[in-house]
Amino acid sequence: MFMRYISRLYSAMAGPRPVVLSGPSGAGKSTLLKKLMKEYDSVFGFSVSHTTRNPRPGEENGKDYHYVTREVMQARIDNGEFIENAVFSGNMYGTSKAAVQDVQAKNLICILDIDMQGVRNIKRTDLSPIYISIQPPSMAVLEKRLRDRKTESEESLQKRLHAAKVDMEFSKEPGMFDVIIINEDLEDAYGKLKETLIEEINKVKKVGMSS
């Protein structure tokens, strides 16, 4: 209890609390976080993960992900450069220490978009983020969104749907998430996300105004 208090205190001194957005692929995490970063561009910074998957049309290296080969990723993991890493739908993903430090050095709220293995692993660190799960209203809606996004092969889509079933159960584990947001109507879900983060947003704004 005391140690947790001290750890929180240190985190508070180090700057604003990071935010973890998790939830099934296709639930709407990127859509919501892009909206948030557009409205509050001087408040949030995105933790740019590394991945071995190919870029989708419109995605930029260094902005959406650092796209690397398996060899490079494994070498960096072995070199201790990652806070957490996981294999999702056959590809490697990971959060480097530098990705989080780059954002925190600017005193911004660091947002991590990571899968449930990442959530479990981050819980073993002293990052102490706010954990938010973005969930679709149903599997049927999720499947439609993933199909309409037209980014996945049938094989990748099936893997993602399978992972989504596990994720939906995982999100119900007591204490796993601070908030679960069902993304049915986008504006409603965005409103809930803002409501969850408004305290942290105001803290960063206040610091920004006084410096």
Question: What order of strands is seen across the sheet that includes strand 82-88?
Answer: 65-67, 49-51, 91-96, 82-88
CB of 73 to ligand ADP, least distance (A): 20
118 binds, among ligand 5GP, ligand ADP, none (CB under 5 to 8 A by kind): ligand 5GP
Catalytic annotation present for 120:
no
- For residue 63, what are its two tokens? 């902005």
Site for ligand 5GP in 42-101 (CB under 6 A): 49, 53, 84, 86, 88, 93-95
Tell me which of 8, 17, 56, 145 is the catalytic residue: 56
Dist CA 151 CA 38 (whole Å)? 23
Q: Does 183 bind ligand 5GP (CB under 6 A)?
A: no
Catalytic annotation present for 147:
no
Comparing C-alpha atoms, which of 159, 160, 71, 82 is closest to residue 121?
A: 82
Residues forming the site for ligand ADP (CB under 6 A) = 25-31, 145, 148-149, 183, 185-186, 189
- For residue 71, what are its two tokens? 């060899």
Report the relative pairing of strands 130-135 and 44-46 from DSSP bridges.
unpaired
Place of tokens 């449930």: 116
Residue 96, helix vs strand vs coil: strand
Catalytic annotation present for 160:
yes
The residue ranges that bind ligand 5GP (CB under 6 A) are 25, 49, 53, 84, 86, 88, 93-95, 113-115, 117-118
Active-site positions read 56, 149, 160
